[in-house]
Structure 1
Amino acid sequence: MKKKSAAATNAKVHNYISDDISFTILSKLPLKSLNRFRCVRKSWSLLFENQHLMNMIRKNFLCNLNCCSYYDQASLLLKYLDETHKDILYSLSHERFENKVKLDCTNVIDHLYIFRIFGLGSINGIVCVHANCGAIVFWNPATQAIKLIPPSPLELVELPIPGVAKEFVNVEAFTYLHGFGYDSVIDDYKVICLVSFDIQVELVDTFSDSLLEDIYLDELWEIYSLRSNSWRKLDIDMPSSSYCIEGTQVYMDGVCHWLCEENTPAGPCLVSFYLRNEVFCITPIPSDEDDCFKFKASSINLVLLNGSISLIAFHRETTTFDIAILGELGIKESWTKLFTVGPLSCVERPIRVGTKGEIFFQRKDNELAWFDLSTQVIEELGYKARGPYTRISLYKENILAIEGISN
C-alpha cells in the first residue's frame, strides 16, 4: 500500500508544473505557437491576461529584435529635399546610423524626376522606385544598375463603346503599385499593380443616360515579371488599398502584404499575395472594440518585427504608439497588442519603423530622430526634415549582377 501511495504522489508531482516554469517556457515560444496554445482551451487562453506572463513575453520579444534574418546589419536609405528642394539620398549605417554616405541617384531622377521608394526597402539590394505618373524602375544603388519597367498593355484596353460615341469619350488609366517581391523558386522579381479607369464623356447631352451607364470598365489586377520583361493580367478579385499610403506595404518570404482601409468591401484587413502560386489570403484587422489595435489612427505603419507582420499606429492626440504583432495569417484573433509606447510629446509625425524596433520620426522642431524600443532612448539622426517628403527605407547592399537589370 505504501508503494502504491508513493507512486500516486510521484505521478501528481510529475503532472504539475509551477507557474514560473510554465511562464518561462511560454514566453520563449514564437507568437504563432503562442496563439495556437491559446486556442486549445479557455483556461490556457486566460493565462495571457496575466501581466507577469505578458511582461516576460515582451522582454523576450525585445531581446530577439537583434536577431533579424535578412536585414541584419542593414543600413537606412534616407531620402529628403535639400535647400534647393532637390531629392537627396543618403545611406546611414552602423549601430546609431552615424556613418553617412551620400548616394548618386541621378540616373533614377533622369527617368522619374520625382520618385518614391516603394515598400519596406530593398530586396537582394534592389529597390523599386516609382513616380506619381505610374512609371516604375528597379534600381541597385550599389552598382547603379537600373531597369525601367515597360508600361502596361492593360492601359490600352479597348472600351466597349458604340462607334458613334467613341469620339466623345476619353479614357485615362491609373496604375496603383501594391506589391514588389522576389520569387525564389524561379529567380524572378515581380510587381503587382491595380489598374483603374477614369472615363470622361464630352457633350453629355448628345447621348441618353442609358448609353452612359453602359460605358464602364472594371478595375484590373496585373503582374510584371522581370524574367520575361512583360505584364500580364491576373484573373483574381482581391481587396485593394484605396490610397496606397507609404508604410502600408511589406514583403517577406515570397509574399507581398498590404493594408486595406475600412471603406473596402472586406473592411479593414491585411491582404497577403503569394507570388509563387498567385493566390491571396485575407487577415481581418481587429476593431476598436477588440481592444487589440485601433485602426483609426493618425498614422499606420505595416512593418516586420522579429520576422512577424506587425502594425504600429500613431495616435496624435495622445502622442502614443500601439504595436500589435500577427501570430498567423488569416486568423484575426492572432493579433496581439504587445506594446504601447509613449506619450512622446516631441513627435510631429512618424516616418518609418526599423526591423529592430527603431521608430523614426520628425520632431516638432523638424529634426529627424529615432526611438529605440529596446532601450527607450531617443536619439537624433542629424538631419532636418523639409516638408512631408522625407522618407526612410531599409537597405542591404548587394553588388551581384541581376539578370534583366543593366548598368
Structure 2
Amino acid sequence: MLRDKGDNHTSENDIIEILLRLPVKALLRFKCVCKTWNALIRNSNFVTKQLNHHSNNARLLIQYHNYCTEKFAFALILNEILTKEPLLSHDLDFQHMRCDSGVIGPLNGILGLWNWNRIALWNPATKEFRFLSIPHSNLPPHFRACSYYFGFGLDLTTNDCKLIWIRDFWDNKIDTLYDPRVVSVYTLGSDSWRVFEVDLYGSIQDSLGNTYMNGFYYWLTNEKYDKILIILSFDIGNEVFREIKMPPDMAKSKWGDLSMYNDSLAMFIYDPNEVEKYIDIWLMTVEECWMKELTIGPLLDVERPLGFWKNGELFLELETGESVLYNPNTGETKDLRHRGKDDCLKVLIYKESLVSIKEGNDF
C-alpha cells in the first residue's frame, strides 16, 4: 500500500487520484509496474473508490440478437452522451456460453448469466468469467425443472454478492406442477449455495435489468387465473420473501414491467394489445407508497419499454425489434442500432469495475 509520509504525502495522493481516473484495462496493466501498485489496485478500498469515482461514467450495455450467428451478443455503447453522432459501439468478446442465455445485472460491474444447464458470473471489464456449481434439490429424478427466475444483489450486512435462483419443477408421474418452489441462494464470498423450498404467489416475471435496491430484490408476479399483479420482494440479508402493494387502480386488462429509475423502484403500466400505446410510469418513493410520475403516448409501433436513461429518457423496443432512445419532452427518438428477437433485447446501465469474481468477497 502507498504510504502517506512526509514530503511524499501530496505526490502519493496525486498518484492515487490519477489512477482512479483510468479505465480498468489500463489499471490491470499498471498492476505489473511494481508490488506497491499491484497491492493498491487490488485493495478493496481502491476497488470501491474506482467504481464510484465521478470519472467512471455509466455506459449502455446492450444484449441483442446477432442475426449472422443466430445467437445473442453484447455491445458496449462508447458514447457518454447518446445524443452525439455518430453513435459508437464495441462488440464484447464473449464465447463462454454459446447458446441463448438470460442475463441479470449488472451489480457493481458484474453480470449474472444463465441458460438451461449453466450459471456463470462475468466481469466484462476485467474479462473474468466464472462458472458456478449447480445446486441440486432433494426432489426425485422424475421431477424436472421447467422454468427459472433470477435475482442479483448485495447482502448489506456482509457486503457480499448473492445470486437468487427460483425454480419451478414439473412432476412427470402425475403430470402437474410441483408446489412449493425451490429457491437456491449463491453467496460469492463462501462460494456456496443454500437450497430451500417456499410457497410463492403466482407466475414470476423477469424485470427490466436488475431491480435491486438497498438490500432487496424485486420481481413482478401475477396470479395464474385472475391475472392480478403483485410485487414480490426478497430480503437478501435475511433471505426472506414478502409481497408489497402495487400502484393504485391497476387495471386487470393492463400489463406492467418493473425497472429502476435513479434510486427508486419504477413500474411501467400499459396495455400490450393497444395499437397506440399509452404508458403510465409510477415510482415507489418509500416502500408501498407509489407516486405517478407521468404518462407518455400515444406511441406507434412500440412493442415494450426497456428501461430508463438519464433525464427521464426511455429505452423502447419497436415492433421491428429495433432499440431506440425516446425523449418524452420532445417526442424525438434515436436509433441505438441493435435489434432483438423473442424478447432477448435488454438495455443495461453499466459501469466498469475492478471487482473480482475469482477472489471471493471483494465487494
| TM-score (normalised: structure 1) | 0.65
SS at match of 2:211: strand
User: C-alpha distance in 1, partners of 2:132/2:307?
Assistant: 26
Tell me the residue number matched to 1:191.
163
Tell me the SS of whatever aligns to 2:254.
Answer: coil
- CA drift at 1:351: 3.2
**Is residue 106 of structure 1 aligned with residue 95 of structure 2?**
yes
Task: Kindly indicate whether the alpha-carbon contact (under 8 Å) linking 1:324 and 1:335 is maintained by their aligned counterparts in 2.
Answer: yes
Query: Do the aligned partners of residues 90 and 295 (structure 1) sit closer, same or farther apart at CA in structure 2, a change above 3 Å counting?
Result: farther
Q: Which of 90, 94, 116 is the equivalent residue of 2:75?
A: 90
SS of the aligned residue for 2:151 comes to: strand
Could you tell which deviates more after superposition, 320-329 or 359-368?
359-368
In structure 2, C-alpha distance between the alignment counterparts of 1:226 and 1:320, rounded to whole Å: 41
Q: Kindly indicate which of the two structures has a greater share of residues assigned to strand.
A: 2
- Partner Cα distance (2:254, 2:218) in 1: 20
Q: Judging changes above 3 Å, is the alpha-carbon distance between structure 1 residues 77 and 136 closer, same or farther for their aligned structure 2 residues?
A: same
Amino acid at match of 1:151: I
Q: Deviations over 1:18-73 (max 9, x none)?
A: xxxxxxxxxxxxxxxxxxxxxxxxxxxxxxxxxxxxxxxxxxxxxxxxxxx99983
Instruction: Give the CA deviation at 1:387.
Output: 5.3
Distance, in Å, in 2 between the alignment partners of 1:263 and 1:249 is 24
Alignment correspondent of 1:171? 143
Partner of 1:117: 103
Match of 1:340 among 286, 295, 302: 295
- Distance in 2, matches of 1:265 and 1:354, equals 33
1:123 CA displacement: 0.8
Deviation per CA, 1:302-324, whole angstroms, max 9, x where unpaired? Answer: 11223111101233413111101
Q: What CA distance in whole angstroms lies between the structure 1 residues aligned with 2:257 and 2:53?
A: 19
Aligned to 2:262, which of 306, 310, 323? 306
Deviations 1:131-157 (A, max 9, x none): 1x1522110011111111111121xx1
One-letter amino acid matched to 2:240: V
Question: 1:246/1:310 Cα in 2 relative to 1: closer, same or farther (>3 Å)?
Answer: closer
Distance 1:216 1:315 in 2: 31
Give the match for residue 23 of structure 2.
Answer: none
Q: Is the 8 A contact 1:178 1:241 kept in 2?
A: no
Structure-to-structure mapping, 1:206-285, within 5 angstroms: 218-234=180-196, 237=198, 239-240=200-201, 242-247=203-208, 250-263=211-224, 267-285=228-246
The match for 2:136 among 150, 153, 162 is 153
Supply the distance in 2 between the matched residues of 1:199 and 1:238 (Cα, whole angstroms). 16
User: Structure 1 CA distance, aligned partners of 2:74 and 2:309?
Assistant: 18
Preserved CA contact (<8 Å) 2:268 2:305? no
- 1:206 aligns with none
Distance, in Å, in 2 between the alignment partners of 1:265 and 1:135 is 34
Matched, 1:327 2:292: no
Instruction: Give distance in 1, aligned partners of 2:277 and 2:191.
Output: 45
Question: 1:240, CA displacement in angstroms?
Answer: 4.8
Between Structure 1 and Structure 2, whose CA radius of gyration is higher? 1
Structure 2 unmatched runs, 5+: 1-51
RMSD across aligned positions (CA): 3.4
Unaligned 5+ segments in structure 1 are 1-68, 160-168, 202-211
Q: Give the fraction of aligned pairs with identical amino acids, expressed as a percent.
A: 26
The change in CA–CA distance for 1:259 and 1:238 in structure 2 (over 3 A counts) is: farther
Whole-angstrom CA distance in 2 between matches of 1:240 and 1:249 = 20
When normalised by structure 2's length, the TM-score is 0.72
Give CA-to-partner distance per residue, 1:222-254, whole Å, 9 cap, x none: 21111221211346x453562433528611122
CA 1:226 to 1:321, structure 2 compared with 1: closer, same or farther past 3 Å?
Answer: same
Q: The residue matched to 2:223 in structure 1 has which SS? A: coil
1:130 matched to 2:125: no
Letter in 2 for 1:125: G
Q: 1:174-197 deviations in whole A, cap 9, x for unaligned?
A: 462331112243232112222332
Counterpart residue identity of residue 220, structure 1: V
Deviation at 1:375, TM superposition (A): 4.8
SS at match of 2:348: strand
SS in structure 2 of the partner of residue 106 of structure 1: coil
d(CA) in 2 for partners of 1:103, 1:230 = 29
Conserved 8 A contact 1:224-1:231: yes
Aligned mates of 1:216, 1:342 — CA distance in 2: 42
Partner AA of 1:188 in structure 2:
D
Return closer, same or farther for 1:188/1:384 CA change in 2, 3 Å cut-off. Answer: closer
1:361 to 316, 321, 324: 316
| 1:334-359 deviation digits (Å, cap 9, x = unpaired) | 22222110112142333333365232
